[in-house]
Amino acid sequence: MSSLAFNRILIGAVVLMAMACSSEDEQSSAEISPLQTTSQGGVLVKQMINHWYSDGFWLHDYPFDFIYDGNKLLRIINPDGGSVDFTYTGNLITSIKERRELLESSAQYEYSLSYDMYHRLIKCLKTSNYGADYRMFYNYVADGIVDRHTYRYEGNYFYYSFDRFSFTEGDQNTLLPEGTIINYDEMNSPLKNITGFDKIMLAYRVEYFVGGGSQMLWGNKENLLSQNNPETGQALKTFEYTYNQDNYPTEMTVKDSLIRYKFTCVY
């Protein structure tokens, strides 16, 4: 999903803090009902390998290893020392810590996630040593419609943005701008059986780390075939897959106007 430009509205500190505190008080008033521990089972991806395409050749085979406890994903690691660590409360992911190794330093991001009594994500606090900090609040206004209120903190300044998104039938926990056209393959996503992942895609995606960007590649149930411009109907990205006997993708090729790359999935 492409990032939407922030409406840079400077908000007074008193007004912003009052709104933030009010939102937190409202959301913390609902107690989360306990989740039963279940034996989820199913196919789990053990490794994803990122291949970059340049000047007619596939280059840079870059592996990412997935470490589990049962169906709970504990960690993703890469050869450069980068990692993502997931912490669970019951079957809900409540903390994500990501570390990316850069040329001369490392970037660290931490996500703190809160849910309502129906186990829907309602708040994400994102902090970082590399860029701005964010508070994101989600309000489920109707079936298939969610509003996101984002507060961005940069130094002594605050910025606010409001976005309304719709769910899609194939991937009910991915935020898409209203009107965006997404086509799915009706096969199995490599992330399908990871505990808690169907909840966090509103705020965090594996593609941020594995894909090196914020693009959307996989749904929590199925896989994307194309992402089309709602005005022209033309495909912004297309996806080609090779599947195994269980209908999970073993290879995926992504094509758009700027870059071409592929992933290999090992189960």
Which is more confident, 28 or 237?
237
**φ, ψ of residue 17 in degrees (nearest 5):** -65, -35
Structure tokens at 18: 């009052």
Break the chain into its structural domains and give their ranges.
Answer: 13-27+45-266
pLDDT digits (tens, 9 = 90+) for 186-215: 899 999 999 999 888 878 888 777 875 555
pLDDT at 178: 61
Q: What is the rounded CA–CA span in Å between residue 163 and residue 148?
A: 5
pLDDT tens sequence across 85-117: 999 999 999 999 999 887 677 889 999 999 999
Token couple for 108:
């660290």
* Tokens 């056209």 -> residue: 181
Quote the pTM value.
Answer: 0.79
DSSP, res 231: T
Per-residue pLDDT of 23-59, as tens digits, reads 444 443 333 333 333 346 789 999 999 887 767 677 6
